[in-house]
Amino acid sequence: MSRREWKGEIRTTAEIFFVIFLVTAIAVTVSTLLLLHNANADRAQLLRYATPTFLNVLFLTFLYTAVYMAWRYFTVVKPARKIQSALSRMTSGDFEVKLDLNETYGNLAPIAAGVNVTAEELKSVETLKTDFLSNVTHELKTPLAGMKSYAQLLRAPGLSEKERMEYAESMIQSLTRMDGLITDILRLNKLENQKLTPKCERFDLSAALTECILLFEPIWEDKDITPEIEIPDNVFVCADRELLDLIWNNLLSNAFKFTPDGGTVGVSLTRQNGAIRVSISDTGPGMSAETGRHIFDKFYQGDPSHATKGNGLGLALVKRVLDLTGSEITVHSQAGKGSAFTVLLREAKGDAAHGTGKQSV
């Protein structure tokens, strides 16, 4: 205990002693005087009982003060010191703190429980921070190492024009990967810190979704993937089109990336109880239950064989956008049988004509 704390305890004890002394003195004195008055005692008798009465007051005061200070120590002071010590450790960066709630904390029990919860939350945040920095470092080092290697190869004498172009192309791919990673990190940071405020504009989701699908036409033609598209005309929503495009592009990118040659990618848009339901499915390898629990975590990649084709931030961005816009996503997947991601959006109110035709792709 510090000198300042000792002074505080002494001052508190003195104040408590004084209060108890006054209360006890008044109570004992009044009781004694009433007793002697009823017994018709004279002045000499009163003086004879004065000293024992004063000593009784002092004794009772010391006794009550000792009992109260012991009770206060075990129910207030000691628990408060444990809580203060735990908070000091947390302030210094030690989040392994855990107070034993089986011990007596009295009225401070809710605070002790709150300290444990806070420590767990801070520990989780610290772990995420460490993992995030580790993953970012790894993701940046990989393309940098590749560029360094190809740059050294470009310095070698006697390179043919074909070799020079291949090395230069590989460097461009590494730079593109780094650019994509940094862009996604900045987007995710803005979304998580709510620096991006979703706009609410009414637009044709059918047309916007179709445009996003057409961006992947070279991929499905190269892999001989069959797109199965069911999108009605003129389905309008009130949302931020740019943020929704980010969702569709990430989900479609994953669908085409994981679907093997000759497979199928399905995209459907339907209305369901006043909401818009967009489903994007594939016939890829699917996911295990364990992978499904982590797919929205930053940098998580359930299939290492595709690690070079992404940075593990796509679905984290999707989840954050959906949280920000108040939308929902569900995932149905089975190992060996593909995956399906379904997004629920609110439908824009209005008198827009809803066609019955289908957008062809």
What does the block give as tokens for 202?
A: 């009414």
Task: In whole angstroms, give the CA distance from residue 289 to residue 281.
Answer: 17
Task: In whole angstroms, give the CA distance from residue 230 to residue 210.
Answer: 10
Per-residue pLDDT, 356: 37
8 Å CB contact between 239 and 325: yes
8 Å CB contact between 316 and 243: no
**Predicted TM-score of the model (pTM):** 0.51
Degrees (nearest 5) of the Cα angle 303, 248, 137?
Answer: 45
8 Å CB contact between 285 and 248: no
Sequence-distant (≥ 6) Cβ neighbours of residue 127 within 8 angstroms = none
Per-residue pLDDT tens, the chain, 361 aa: give them.
556 666 676 777 777 777 777 777 777 677 666 666 665 656 666 667 667 777 777 777 788 878 877 887 777 778 888 888 888 888 888 878 888 877 777 778 888 888 888 888 887 777 766 766 666 676 677 678 878 888 888 888 888 888 888 888 888 877 877 776 677 667 666 666 665 567 778 888 899 999 989 988 888 899 999 999 999 988 888 888 888 888 888 889 889 988 999 999 999 999 877 788 899 999 988 887 776 666 776 555 555 444 444 445 677 778 887 877 778 888 888 888 889 999 888 655 543 434 433 333 3
- Three-class secondary structure assignment of the chain: CCHHHHHHHHHHHHHHHHHHHHHHHHHHHHHHHHHHHHCCCCHHHHHHHHHHHHHHHHHHHHHHHHHHHHHHHHHHHHHHHHHHHHHHHHHCCCCCCCCCCCCCCHHHHHHHHHHHHHHHHHHHHHHHHHHHHHHHHHHHHHHHHHHHHHHHHHCCCCCCHHHHHHHHHHHHHHHHHHHHHHHHHHHHHHHHCCCCCCCCEEEEHHHHHHHHHHCCHHHHHHCCCEEEEECECCCEEEECHHHHHHHHHHHHHHHHHHCCCCCEEEEEEEEECCEEEEEEEECCCCCCHHHHCCCCCCCCCCCHHHHHHCCCCHHHHHHHHHHHHCCEEEEEECCCCCEEEEEEEEECCCCCCCCCCECCC
Task: In whole angstroms, give the CA distance from residue 296 to residue 313.
Answer: 8
φ, ψ of residue 332 to 5 degrees: the values are -125, 120
Per-residue pLDDT, 262: 92
Per-residue pLDDT, 35: 63
Nearest C-alpha neighbor of 251 from the set 324, 182, 186, 329: 329
Per-residue pLDDT, 17: 76
What does the block give as tokens for 273?
A: 């109880």
Task: In whole angstroms, give the CA distance from residue 97 to residue 123.
Answer: 9
Task: In whole angstroms, give the CA distance from residue 310 to residue 168.
Answer: 21
Residue at 221: amino acid letter: E
Strands 236-239 and 201-204: antiparallel
Q: Which domains does the chain have, with CATH numbers?
A: 3-94 (no CATH), 120-192 (1.10.287.130), 201-346 (3.30.565.10)
8 Å CB contact between 263 and 237: no
